[in-house]
Amino acid sequence: MAHKKGAGSSRNGRESHSKRLGIKIFGGQPAIAGNIIVRQRGTPHNPGQNVGLGKDHTLFALVDGTVVFKKKADNRSYVSVIPFEAAPVAEDAAPAPKAKAAAKTVEVAAPVAEEAPVAEEAPKAKAPKAKKAETEGTEEVVAE
């Protein structure tokens, strides 16, 4: 039996607990003041507007609002929180579905009105087919 394990193996990985780092609230999601947005070592993400920086480089929201991630000219990632009152995007998005819903109801009403005449025409179309099947040899009856 070998007295050394193969390369790339470690026997010391059991004693430290995972630190649960990473982004906790993603861009576009709502955040309440005090919520942790990012847990990190160092500052891969820097604090922007309405975001605080903890002593362990944790980013947290200072106001209630929507989280936004941006990269600026210095190629650094900045995390900001836009307050709900100042976010016009959410207000513009709400009326748009209402307008679409109204358009859909109009479209549904139009085919219902058209379906009634189609139902009346269907028996007329079936009658000639039946006559053709019955009178294959007598063309004079079909002509009348």
pLDDT, residue 111, reads: 54
Domains contained in the chain, number = 2
Query: 46 lies in a domain?
Result: yes
Residues 43 and 59 in one domain: yes
Q: d(Cα 101, Cα 125) in Å, to the nearest integer?
A: 36
pLDDT, residue 14, reads: 83
Residue 99, domain extent: 94-131
Residues 58 and 100 in one domain: no
pTM (whole model) above 0.75 = no
pLDDT, residue 51, reads: 97
Instruction: State which residues of the chain have pLDDT below 70.
Output: 1-2, 87-144
pLDDT, residue 82, reads: 97
Residues 71 and 28 in one domain: yes
Residues 32 and 72 in one domain: yes
Indicate if the alpha-carbon torsion angle 118, 119, 124, 126 is positive or negative: positive
Residues 78 and 109 in one domain: no
| Amino acid symbol at 5 | K
CATH of the domain at 49: 2.40.50.100
